[in-house]
A = this chain, B = another copy of it.
């Protein structure tokens, strides 16, 4: 009996083994996705708009590795550090995937002793967060960062960052938006005058940051319950964080009996006033709101902070609408580079990060709703034949076209039917067909067919390239 059982168990194990072979999961990792050619077409449109803007403002471009030494990322992100992806220790250095592009940028500046640069960087970053993919929240996602590093006169680079957010969100026609602005010094001043203990500044700041997702009562109970803040301090904070406005509010707070006594808050308010003056010159204050509830989660900000909120449009159909949120954010971080410099030398920085994934979600949905046909190739002409045995002639002709820089395709069939070749053009949006046949070859011409109108003309072979160029040139 024991022998029989052993035999059966062995057989079962074999079956299990075979089963296992074919039972893999066919998916991308949690919180990630592939981009199809159609999605890529939309993505490239968005990138083009953003890169054009960054270049318009004179930025250079850099790139850094997708992973950094683990210690490079340590101590930079506060409570968010738990979301960092670590690599397995396979011998050698301990590595982590980058969490944003700002810390690698600061590391780059310190490592190369750069004290002055205006650069952009577009790349993927990684966060082990709870994904909400329909709302554009992924674990692997793009950031498009523009930063200005260097010792300059106050608020000029900061104002340019806000101008950039304004330009990009306007260019992309994402509907109405609002850019909330605050300053870490005003927040810290507020915490101080509300008697928040120094040691609790950063953690209470993290709580304030949740105000865009939670009602005040929940945030308050986190402050008082979990983080041990006194109810009086919380109530004092409540007074301030409901305030938002423009220059008028800044003036009022500069007169505020408590805040105006605090050195940090006064500095922050003074600079906020200057910032609003520059934004007025740029003509963009209509979409800017000084908002004391804006805190931003990350530890490294030291001055101005901002975040752009995409507003739902009234005339959107409910079933089409996506839940929208922050489309861009950033701020000043004057201490980060110094954390990497062996001598602690500081390089003041201010920058903005465009949150591409939310923007994609919106544009993708819009394209789908509009039934707009997006071409995923740029092919100008299909090289075809109506008769059999002309593969060699098709290959000879397409080779000539490629060498002349024409974007051309051919079906990979020895003897394709003309109908199939024309259908391929219809499906993929190829505007022209160059048809070779016995007669055309004899006459030294190619029959050029316009797919949309079915018009056909014979073009002398030596004029074909020029003719295709002319007929497919973008106006």
Contacts and interface: CB of A to CB of B under 8 A. Distances in A.
A86 interface: yes
Contacts of A124: 66
A163 B402 CA distance: 10
A29 to B, nearest CB: 5
Interface residues of A, number: 91
Contact of A58 (B86, B111, B409): B409
B402 A152 contact: no
Contact of A92 (B30, B150, B152, B407): B30
Contacts of A25: 69, 71
What is the copy number of this chain in the assembly?
2
Contact of A392 (B26, B57, B97, B281): B281
Interface in A227-286: 278, 281-283
Given A63-B35, A412-B148, A111 B281 contact: no
B152 A413 contact: yes
Contacts of A412: 148, 150, 152-153, 156-157, 160
Given A57-B402, A395-B278, A63 B34 contact: yes
A200 interface: no
B27 A111 contact: yes
A107 B26 contact: yes
19 contacts: A25-B69, A28-B69, A34-B108, A35-B62, A35-B64, A40-B62, A55-B377, A58-B408, A59-B377, A61-B376, A87-B87, A88-B89, A153-B391, A153-B412, A160-B412, A163-B402, A281-B395, A281-B396, A282-B399
Nearest to A85: B87
Contact of A29 (B26, B69, B153, B402): B69
A393 B240 CA distance: 35
Contact of A65 (B32, B128, B163): B32
Contact of A60 (B97, B376, B395, B402): B376
A115 interface: no
Contacts of A152: 412-413
Contact of A88 (B33, B35, B87): B87
Nearest to A167: B402
